[in-house]
């Protein structure tokens, strides 16, 4: 599992807390902030952005991830997710994050709105048996998909 030193962990939590304050949440009133650490040491943040058409709402983790990818980052080392009650990313975000996990693994840290970390786990614990690029390529080559 990737390791983080305490100063880096603290910077990520602070960045996620700051991002949480920008959440656009007129429907759920549930602010989420995320901060992703890339393999080259950059930090990208995101918040959840709701929409009256609920299905087009985007989670904080994917907001941060899309910002990172759009700036050329392709490998993520860690993500901090800040919510009022320190929960982990949803299933869609777990799948999204796994796509960019450095060496197939990244640290997922859940913290509450006061910055208290409740849990740290590798993404593989949250999404065991994940579907990834290798699965897609194998299926296409073998004609099984």
For residue 59, is pLDDT > 90?
yes
Task: Give domain status of residue 74, yes or no.
Answer: yes
Which CATH number covers residue 28?
Answer: 3.40.140.10
Q: What is the dihedral of CA 144, 138, 108, 48, to 10 degrees?
A: -60
Nearest to 111 by CA among 42, 2, 11, 44: 11
Task: Give domain status of residue 45, yes or no.
Answer: yes
Q: How many folded domains does the chain comprise?
A: 1
Task: Give domain status of residue 1, yes or no.
Answer: no
Lowest-confidence region among 10-14, 59-63, 97-101, 134-138: 134-138
pLDDT band at 14 (very low <50, low <70, confident <90, very high): very high
pLDDT band at 142 (very low <50, low <70, confident <90, very high): very low
Tokens of residue 67, six digits: 């910002």
Tokens of residue 128, six digits: 């065991």
Question: How confident is the model over 56-62, as a mean pLDDT?
Answer: 97
Query: Annotated catalytic, 61?
Result: yes
- Domain extent for 16: 6-142
For residue 3, is pLDDT > 90?
no
Choose, from 61, 71, 114, 137, the residue flagged as catalytic. Answer: 61
- Sequence-ordered list of residues with C-beta below 8 angstroms from that of 15, at least 6 positions apart, any chain: 33, 35, 43, 45, 80
DSSP class per residue in 108-121: EEEE-TT--EEEEE
Task: Give domain status of residue 112, yes or no.
Answer: yes
- Please state, in angstroms and rounded to a whole number, the distance separating the CA atoms of residues 59 and 80: 13
Question: How confident is the model over 18-24, as a mean pLDDT?
Answer: 98
Task: Give domain status of residue 131, yes or no.
Answer: yes
Residue 2 pLDDT: 67
In this structure, the chain runs to a length of 145
Give tens-digit pLDDT for 88-141.
999 999 999 999 999 889 999 999 999 999 999 999 999 998 888 888 875 555
Task: Give domain status of residue 34, yes or no.
Answer: yes
Nearest to 80 by CA among 132, 8, 24: 8
Task: Give domain status of residue 36, yes or no.
Answer: yes
- Please state, in angstroms and rounded to a whole number, the distance separating the CA atoms of residues 34 and 145: 34
Task: Give domain status of residue 87, yes or no.
Answer: yes
Residue 139 pLDDT: 52
Residue 85, SS3?
coil
pLDDT band at 48 (very low <50, low <70, confident <90, very high): very high
């Amino acid at each position: 599992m990737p390791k983080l030193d305490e100063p880096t962990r603290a910077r990520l939590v602070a960045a996620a807390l700051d991002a949480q304050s920008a959440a656009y949440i007129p429907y759920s009133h549930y602010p989420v902030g995320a901060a992703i650490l890339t393999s080259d040491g950059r930090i990208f943040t995101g918040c959840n952005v709701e929409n009256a058409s609920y299905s087009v709402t985007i989670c904080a983790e994917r907001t941060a991830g899309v910002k990172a990818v759009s700036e050329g980052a392709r490998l993520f080392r860690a993500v901090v997710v800040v919510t009022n009650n320190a929960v982990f990313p949803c299933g869609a975000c777990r799948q999204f994050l796994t796509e960019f996990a450095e060496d197939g693994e990244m640290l997922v840290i859940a913290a509450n709105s006061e910055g208290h970390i409740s849990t740290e786990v590798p993404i593989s614990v949250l999404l065991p048996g994940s579907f990834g690029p290798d699965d897609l390529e194998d299926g296409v080559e073998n004609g099984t998909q």
